[in-house]
A and B are shown apart, each in its own frame.
Chain A
Amino acid sequence: MDFPINPPIGERVRRKETERFVSGTGRYVDDLLPAGTLHVSFVRSSCAHARIKSIDVTAARAMPGVRAVYTGADIAAHVKPLRVGGSSVLRPVKLYPLAVDKVRYFGEPLAVVVADNRYLAEDAIDMVAVDYEMLPAVVDPEKAMEPGAALVHEEAGSNIVYKFHFATDGIDKVFQDAEVVIKERIRSHRITACPIEPRAYLAHYNKDEDTLTMWSATANPHSLRGRIAEIIDFPEGKIRVIAPDVGGSFGVKIQTYQEELLLPYLSRELGRPIKWCETRIEHMRNGRHGRDQIHYVEMALKKDGTMLGIRDKIIADMGSTYTVDHSIQAAALYMTGVYQIQNYSVDALGIATTKTTHGSLRGIGKADASYILERLVDIAARQLKIDPIELRLKNFIPAEAFPYRNVTGALYDSGQYHLAMRRTAEMAGYDRLRQEQIELRKQGIYRGIGVAFVMEPTSSSRIHATGGYASCRLRIDPSGAATVFSSMGEQGQGHETTIAQIVASQTGIPFDKITVIHGDTLPTPYGFGTGSSRSSVVLMPSAWVAGKLMRDKMLGIAARQLKVLPENLQIDGGKVFAKDHPEQSIAVMEIIRTAYGAIHLLPENMEPGLEVTGYFINPNIDYTPDDKGRMNTFSSYPYAAVIAVVDVDIETGMIKIVRYSTVHDCGNMINPQIVDTQQQGSIMQGIGAALYEELRYDEDGQLISSSFMDYRLPCAEEVPELQLEHIITPNPFTPLGAKGAGETGMLGPPPALCSAVEDALSPFGVKVRETPLTPDRVLNLIEKAQATPAHG
């Protein structure tokens, strides 16, 4: 596509929404407190796996301020279950808002107390007595696959709840004949998104109107509305879901939760607004978890470093309810990454365990793939004694090969991998770094250099799931201001600004006069959740389409009045004028007045008013595989090259990131300032994942890292020196050429830092295969390596 990108698109415009956030007037769900609101608190399972024998709520009911107490069985009698999961091997399971006969993970909600305030509700949950019949916890996914393992879902007959297989012809022969085969077991550990605003919901059933309003810190308001309608059997059209300001999501708020479905029911039952804001501990235990894949992976190469093929076996820990099996598929489809590898096979298994349900998290599935692949490439480089940058340059897909069909059928839109890698090496001073490393080692300083090249497929689409398109409705009001109704909510991405930039660019309506409404199902057109970076790839183009439709309409009106063809007209400075004769002009306000009032002056067959809806469909998506099982399920392929430099203190195990250099290509940038800020945050989240954050379960299935005390997010003091640069290769299949900017940053640190630490500790022959790289783990690795004979 060839479309002009005119200002203010591409400018570092100051964000509109920031004004209310700095002045403390943002509105989040927890800020709302309608008169008569009752508060709830949940009784949660104290064990990972058990049958519920009985629940005694008598004492809780008698507590001060308590209005009602319900158990799972009470609720199940009145709501329909949500059908979730559903995969290649298993029918969907029924999910009720509260556990019914059995609990399947530590912290699962099984009863609810409704009280006058949150303190009283919390007091009362302690008075609920639950009698359990304990069942064995299913913690290790590999053991869970063995015959005789306790079953998380008995009706499934197995804990293997998802299977995916793909293989190219002759893959085994490639490995038989290969000069070199690198074989590893690498695990991406379990983490969670952890936005600073936890989940929060407020349901208000209005008896007089027979309508339900649900305020939710959700990233997916339209889908949520449908689900509420389904489970409480209430007309969808009478439900309004509003996601007001939402304090971050990173994937975790895109899914629907048990508590979220319960509140509308309670409000209808009790005729009062019902509110719940989760605690941080609840968030760690109940918000979806991410990553947690084990890969048994091998790469076949020639001695000169030419990559020939990859064979992978993936064991993915899906937790208790496996709602998002596409995390596995996303990993399986992209294990060849940015390299020209046309021989590949994968067997991927999703395993049910008695842990919190697995779900979306910035880079879902693709982050596991890029981490494991990039580690494997690094290990291969070390073994073949080839420089890790050289090995990559030798195998990258060349710029002239795009659009490139990878081995699994994915269609990569565009890229300049060689350029990005070389530019990063130049920026980081790679050759000099290697020299310095030798010098420092003589002084006993363990410096390491880690290289990674990560790609983040964005804007996924799957049948009946999510993401096929986005839409924006645009109205120019009679006053001359414009309002855009966006189909997607936002949680910090700055849509109010970027959409206004796009509409201003197309229509000439000043940026300051454009208001963007989002997250409210009543005025906005239908759309999918904000995830998979699809706002850049489909939502912004839909605003562009709406802007173009509006522009065409305005020019049409002007054309008739000026007697000039629309293509010879231009909008600028509040006027529409002939390009060749600027004195032939009409004020934009005059066009607006015509559209609303003087409709006899409209061109023939033109509808009155100034209101249009723009849709944009995710390009290049395959909804069914071809005869070889190949398909493309993402439409854009941003990527980043990374060089990380670390010093490892071998006495304390502490890692200091000396510098982190990266060149990122997310295509055209609608607002480069917003891209930069998002990228910095994304990189820090990746650093947290690599070095600090881990959700750990003990053998009884208890989550032992469930607060900020033991699940440590990076803080300001841990920000390393960052060198960020962009190269721009626009996505040729979307009008704006943007590819999605929020996720790639997070993918870089895990492989780059692990490789850097392995490099730093190479004198000990340390192998990094488990993460995060906490000081304890680093010391352990050194100790272990010293106990075994050293490698070169």
Chain B
Amino acid sequence: MAKSITLTVNGKSYSGEADSRTLLVHFLRDALSLTGTHVGCVVGRCGACTVMWNGTAVKSCMVFAVQADGDEVVTVEGLVKDKRLHPLQQSFWKNDAVECGYCTPGMLMSAYGLLQKNRNPSDEQIKKAISGNLCRCTGYGNIVAAIKEAAGNFTK
């Protein structure tokens, strides 16, 4: 049954039709054309679809779009402000934390979720925060380093 829903995504209000079974990730990608959020498994095991939902990093393949009706969502596209990369994005670039880029948006959002709550995370805390995000390319080392470096320059 299609239902009309309204979400605030990256600070902008969007309305659209969603079936009761439409996943949030598909709604973001197909209805709102926000394709930065990726799909790697649709069963909550890879983290490529991670977004911020009401202030917490979640896997958007584990949420129905209708559950997010009236809520606030931030996707990777929302990290860029005034065409300037967010310190986390800059740090991923500088530390070569990216190869194919497929896991990257989800990694960034998990890191963003962590730094919202903890401005000075240890390596262990960082690894734990991204342990639900799989990367097959980089071996994670540079990602952890990038998040650590960005923690110092973190802005909301």
Q: A22-B89, A196-B102 are in contact. Are A716 and B143 (CB under 8 A)?
A: yes
- Asked if B1 is at the interface of the complex by the 8 Å CB criterion, the answer is no
- Asked if B63 is at the interface of the complex by the 8 Å CB criterion, the answer is no
Residue of A nearest to B90 (CB): A22
The answer to whether B137 touches A15 (Cβ under 8 A) is no
For residues 664 through 685 of chain A, which have their beta carbon under 8 Å from a beta carbon of chain B? 673-674, 676-685
Chain B 63-88 near chain A by CB (<8 Å), digits 1 or 0: 00000000000011101100001000
Residue of B nearest to A23 (CB): B80
Q: A22-B92, A198-B40, A685-B136 are in contact. Are A708 and B144 (CB under 8 A)?
A: no
The answer to whether A196 touches B131 (Cβ under 8 A) is no
What separation, in Å, do the CA atoms of A683 and B137 have in the docked complex?
10
What separation, in Å, do the CA atoms of A280 and B75 have in the docked complex?
23
Q: A684-B140, A709-B45, A719-B141 are in contact. Are A248 and B102 (CB under 8 A)?
A: yes
Chain B 37-67 near chain A by CB (<8 Å), digits 1 or 0: 1111111011010000000000000000000
- The distance from the CB of A285 to the nearest CB of chain B, in whole angstroms, is 14
The answer to whether B100 touches A22 (Cβ under 8 A) is no
- The distance from the CB of B37 to the nearest CB of chain A, in whole angstroms, is 8
Interface segment out of the listed A24-32, A149-157, A168-176, A464-472:
A24-32
Residue of A nearest to B143 (CB): A716
Q: A23-B85, A24-B36, A197-B38 are in contact. Are A677 and B101 (CB under 8 A)?
A: no
- Asked if A609 is at the interface of the complex by the 8 Å CB criterion, the answer is no
One of B38, B43, B79 near A707 (C-beta < 8 A): B43
Q: Which residues of chain B are within 8 angstroms of A280 by Cβ–Cβ distance?
A: 40-43, 45-46
- The distance from the CB of B4 to the nearest CB of chain A, in whole angstroms, is 18
The answer to whether A248 touches B136 (Cβ under 8 A) is yes
Residue of A nearest to B105 (CB): A24
- The distance from the CB of A665 to the nearest CB of chain B, in whole angstroms, is 19
Interface size on A, residues (CB 8 A): 57
Q: A22-B85, A280-B40 are in contact. Are A678 and B46 (CB under 8 A)?
A: no
For residues 3 through 46 of chain B, which have their beta carbon under 8 Å from a beta carbon of chain A? 19, 21-22, 29-30, 33-43, 45-46
- Asked if A246 is at the interface of the complex by the 8 Å CB criterion, the answer is yes
- Asked if B128 is at the interface of the complex by the 8 Å CB criterion, the answer is yes
Chain A 8-51 near chain B by CB (<8 Å), digits 1 or 0: 00000011011111111111101101000000000000000000
One of B29, B35, B98, B131 near A21 (C-beta < 8 A): B98
The answer to whether A708 touches B45 (Cβ under 8 A) is yes
Of A21, A22, A245, A683, which is in contact with the most chain B CB atoms at under 10 Å from its CB?
A22
Interface size on B, residues (CB 8 A): 58
Q: A31-B35, A677-B138, A685-B136 are in contact. Are A493 and B41 (CB under 8 A)?
A: no
- Asked if A250 is at the interface of the complex by the 8 Å CB criterion, the answer is yes
The answer to whether A196 touches B141 (Cβ under 8 A) is no
Q: A197-B102, A280-B42, A717-B131 are in contact. Are A681 and B89 (CB under 8 A)?
A: no
The answer to whether A250 touches B136 (Cβ under 8 A) is yes
- Asked if A85 is at the interface of the complex by the 8 Å CB criterion, the answer is no
Q: A23-B89, A707-B45 are in contact. Are A681 and B40 (CB under 8 A)?
A: no
What separation, in Å, do the CA atoms of A445 and B138 have in the docked complex?
32
The answer to whether A493 touches B144 (Cβ under 8 A) is no
Main secondary structure of the interface of B (DSSP, over half): loop
Q: Which residues of chain B are within 8 angstroms of A719 by Cβ–Cβ distance?
A: 127, 139-141, 144
The answer to whether B101 touches A26 (Cβ under 8 A) is yes
- Asked if A402 is at the interface of the complex by the 8 Å CB criterion, the answer is no
- Asked if B130 is at the interface of the complex by the 8 Å CB criterion, the answer is yes
The answer to whether A18 touches B101 (Cβ under 8 A) is yes
The answer to whether A677 touches B99 (Cβ under 8 A) is yes
- The distance from the CB of B74 to the nearest CB of chain A, in whole angstroms, is 11
What separation, in Å, do the CA atoms of A680 and B48 have in the docked complex?
20
Of B99, B126, B135, B138, which is in contact with the most chain A CB atoms at under 10 Å from its CB?
B99
One of B30, B102, B136 near A713 (C-beta < 8 A): B136
What separation, in Å, do the CA atoms of A15 and B38 have in the docked complex?
21
The answer to whether B40 touches A18 (Cβ under 8 A) is no
The answer to whether A23 touches B136 (Cβ under 8 A) is no
- Asked if B151 is at the interface of the complex by the 8 Å CB criterion, the answer is no
What separation, in Å, do the CA atoms of A27 and B29 have in the docked complex?
12
- Asked if B115 is at the interface of the complex by the 8 Å CB criterion, the answer is no
Q: Which residues of chain B are within 8 angstroms of A674 by Cβ–Cβ distance?
A: 96
Q: Which residues of chain A are within 8 angstroms of B134 by Cβ–Cβ distance?
A: 196, 708, 713, 715
The answer to whether A681 touches B137 (Cβ under 8 A) is yes
- The distance from the CB of B1 to the nearest CB of chain A, in whole angstroms, is 13
The answer to whether A681 touches B139 (Cβ under 8 A) is yes
- Asked if A589 is at the interface of the complex by the 8 Å CB criterion, the answer is no
What separation, in Å, do the CA atoms of A162 and B46 have in the docked complex?
37
One of A21, A24, A277 near B77 (C-beta < 8 A): A24
- Asked if A531 is at the interface of the complex by the 8 Å CB criterion, the answer is no
Q: A30-B39, A196-B48 are in contact. Are A245 and B142 (CB under 8 A)?
A: no
- Asked if A492 is at the interface of the complex by the 8 Å CB criterion, the answer is yes
One of B40, B100, B130 near A492 (C-beta < 8 A): B100
- The distance from the CB of A634 to the nearest CB of chain B, in whole angstroms, is 24
- The distance from the CB of B85 to the nearest CB of chain A, in whole angstroms, is 6
What separation, in Å, do the CA atoms of A196 and B139 have in the docked complex?
13
What separation, in Å, do the CA atoms of A503 and B105 have in the docked complex?
31
What separation, in Å, do the CA atoms of A247 and B45 have in the docked complex?
17
Chain A 240-260 near chain B by CB (<8 Å), digits 1 or 0: 000001111010000000000
Q: A492-B137, A683-B139, A708-B43 are in contact. Are A716 and B99 (CB under 8 A)?
A: no
- The distance from the CB of B131 to the nearest CB of chain A, in whole angstroms, is 5
The answer to whether B102 touches A22 (Cβ under 8 A) is no
What separation, in Å, do the CA atoms of A280 and B45 have in the docked complex?
10
Q: A23-B76, A492-B137, A680-B142 are in contact. Are A33 and B101 (CB under 8 A)?
A: no
- Asked if A494 is at the interface of the complex by the 8 Å CB criterion, the answer is yes
The answer to whether A195 touches B94 (Cβ under 8 A) is no
- The distance from the CB of B125 to the nearest CB of chain A, in whole angstroms, is 11
The answer to whether A716 touches B98 (Cβ under 8 A) is no
Residue of A nearest to B23 (CB): A119
The answer to whether B141 touches A21 (Cβ under 8 A) is no
Residue of A nearest to B146 (CB): A22
Residue of B nearest to A679 (CB): B139
The answer to whether B41 touches A708 (Cβ under 8 A) is yes
Q: Which residues of chain A are within 8 angstroms of B130 by Cβ–Cβ distance?
A: 715-716
The answer to whether A680 touches B139 (Cβ under 8 A) is yes
The answer to whether B139 touches A277 (Cβ under 8 A) is no
The answer to whether B38 touches A247 (Cβ under 8 A) is yes
What separation, in Å, do the CA atoms of A674 and B96 have in the docked complex?
8
What are the 7 A-B residue pairs with the smallest beta carbon separation, nearest first? A24-B36, A21-B101, A247-B102, A492-B100, A680-B139, A492-B99, A24-B76
Assuming A21-B100, A277-B39, what are 11 further A-B pairs, CB within 8 angstroms?
A22-B101, A23-B76, A24-B79, A196-B38, A280-B46, A674-B96, A678-B99, A680-B141, A708-B41, A715-B131, A716-B135
Q: Which residues of B contact A (CB under 8 A)?
A: 19, 21-22, 29-30, 33-43, 45-46, 48, 75-77, 79-80, 85, 89-90, 92-94, 96, 98-105, 108, 126-128, 130-144
* Listed A/B pairs (7) with beta-carbon separation below 8 Å: A21-B98, A24-B34, A197-B100, A492-B101, A677-B99, A681-B139, A708-B45
